[in-house]
Structure 1
Amino acid sequence: MKPKAEANKLSKILSIFLGEDRFPVDVESLALEYSKETSPSDPIVKIKKSDVDNFEGALIKHPNKSQWMILYKENIRSEGRKRFTIAHELGHYMLHRAEMDEFLCTSIVGEQSLSVRDIENEADTFASYLLMPLDDCRKQTSHQQFSIELLIHCANRYNVSLMAAALKLKEILPKRIVVVAARDGMILWASSNQKAYKSKVYIKTKGVPPISIPEGSLMSSLSTNPVGESKKQPANLWFPDEPKDLHLIEHVFVATEGYDYTLGVLELESE
């Protein structure tokens, strides 16, 4: 089953038993109880933190039993990131456990083969749709434009990281949106929604030399404002091919989730 469909199936079950206003999802109890009820011959029996350095999360089958264990890195300080990691590993259990007995998941994309990257993307999609179901997200964003306040509201409602919330809002909101993560003046990665990508508004970060944050951008100011900042900017400051008279809103938030990075959301006007 596809990751969105599998996550939506679980969400419908949770809504039936717990009601519509059931957030945040208790992902640990869900993983243990749902696997026991639906797959008693090979359930998830344990979820615990681990001090192993080479992965953020793991799904591992017991060598002598048909049982599974989820591990997450003990130094994950962000509760939202920990929850997303557990949901990601539950995604591997639901979608991929017939293919492998061990999933060691790193956040370093460059270390992954294309086939591994595919299943990692599927597990991420599952986690996103399980923790932040599309129907509820649409209710939260109805008739709203992107704002830092909306981002914080969604992160708090679903108990996820600001990054996870920004990537979900990128999917839903109507404008062209690009989410950017940066550290030490360099762009770590960027992700455009479909509307932006189709209009060639994207930042390529894979297979190219490191890219600096544009000089004069709000992200380049390294703001430490705890509530974030927003500023109207010429669109071609970030995307040189955009018309000179077109603007974007640059939203910047310095994340304090156990990771040192600046999160940016670029919201572009229509062409």
Structure 2
Amino acid sequence: MDNHPKAEANRISVLLRTVLGEERFPVDIKNVILEVSNNKFPKEPIVDIRPVPLDKFEGMLVKSPKGTKWMVGYNDQIASEGRIRFTLAHEFGHYLLHRNLQSEFNCATKDVMSTDLGDRLMEKEADTFASSLLMPLDDFRKQIEGCLISIDLLKHCGDRYGVSLTAAALKLRDVAVGRVIIVAAKDGFLDWACSNQAAYKSGAYFATTKETIEVPVNSLLNTTIWSPDGKSGTIKANAWLPKEPVHMELVEHVFVVVGEGYSYTLGILVLPDSERQVGEDELIENDSIN
């Protein structure tokens, strides 16, 4: 893991901006994978990208038996173009960052929560690379500058970069100045949650890998049904986070994500600046930040 994922992605982004200009989005990820791998590593390029039957995985990267070429595959049941694009960029990240460590990668969403620290690190690095390549930080900041967080803003970013609303929300979490938590729920319980650093350091996070967390009864996330516009509103912060002051409110943005073989409710919790700082001894190790 000698290369930094953001640095690798930035090098490619600079090249694309030089050749294609500022309006180069969405990134033509398939062409980028083939061209860059062939130019940088002509003795072991990626030569094939195709849908494959992957029962439990989103994507894969595998080396040929002769050890001279690579193939990228993505689950042929994925209908969302945004998910496909991010999966391909994720596998490309493994190729650039980790191909000298192993000859085959089979990746599922839950891999970022693996108990093996090495696997978790590789998966997070591949995710960071994919996010940085598809949604470069400088351009993303231009899109959200002066804007309040909203479903419409996320849709704009999703459309511009050709990614899912969830991927756009996670990127927004990374660049937001204040406290932001992204959550996903299924059947009344949190499936996963990701806090940015500001939220995490104030104790505003959900340790979904360590405990089962029920969605608050009076939250928007608990009552929202699918609509093309999603839903936004303000509720008491301690409905979600009991340690927050009783007078504090948070803004909750909710969107139901429906796809072939999967569905969940995506929530963006935007909290005011913290009135308290949590000591290191109060923080628990968890997967709520990537």
User: Counterpart of 1:190?
Assistant: 193
Partner of 2:267: 264
Q: Which amino acid aligns with 1:151?
A: L
In the alignment, the residues of structure 1 paired with residue 206 and residue 114 of structure 2 have an alpha-carbon distance, to the nearest angstrom, of: 21
1:23 maps to 2:25? yes
Sequence identity (%): 50
Aligned-partner residue type, residue 227 of structure 2 = N
Unpaired segments of 5 or more residues in structure 2?
275-290
Q: Which residue is equivalent to 2:52? A: 50
Aligned twin of 2:162: 159
User: Partners in 1 of 2:33 and 2:147 — Cα distance?
Assistant: 33
1:192 aligned partner, one-letter code: S
Deviation larger for 81-90 or 63-72: 63-72
Counterpart secondary structure, 1:83? helix
Query: How far apart, CA to CA, are the structure 2 residues paired with 1:28 and 1:270?
Result: 41
Instruction: For residue 115 of structure 1, report the CA deviation from its aligned partner.
Output: 1.1
Name the TM-score, length of structure 2 as normaliser: 0.91
> How do residues 91-170 of structure 1 correspond to structure 2 at under 5 angstroms?
91-109=93-111, 113-170=116-173
Residue of 42, 45, 54 corresponding to 1:40: 42
Structure 1 residues not aligned, in runs of 5+: none
Stretch moving more, 253-262 or 5-14: 253-262
Amino acid at match of 2:56: N
Q: CA deviation at 1:108?
A: 2.3
Instruction: Tell me how far apart the structure 1 counterparts of residues 151 and 53 of structure 2 sit (CA, whole Å).
Output: 34
Paired residues of 1:214 and 1:238 also in contact (CA < 8 A): yes
Equivalents in 1 of 2:114, 2:94: separation in Å?
Answer: 18
Q: Match for 1:173 among 170, 173, 176?
A: 176
Residues 207-231 of structure 1 show CA distances to partners (whole Å, capped at 9, x for unaligned) of 22x2110010001103222210101
Alignment correspondent of 1:205 = 208
Which string of whole-angstrom CA distances, capped at 9 and with x for unpartnered residues, describes residues 226-268 of structure 1?
2101011111010100011111000000113443000000001
Instruction: Give the match's secondary structure for 2:27.
Output: coil
CA distance in 2, matches of 1:265, 1:257: 19
1:2 is matched with which residue?
4
CA drift at 1:111: 5.1
RMSD: 1.1
Q: Normalised by the size of structure 1, how large is the TM-score?
A: 0.97
Structure 1 runs (4+) deviating above 6 angstroms are: none
> AA paired with 2:242?
P
Partner of 1:252: 254
Count of aligned pairs between the two proteins: 270
Structure 2 contact 224–254 (Cα < 8 Å) conserved: no
Q: Are 1:86 and 2:88 matched, yes or no? A: yes
Partner SS for 1:34 = helix
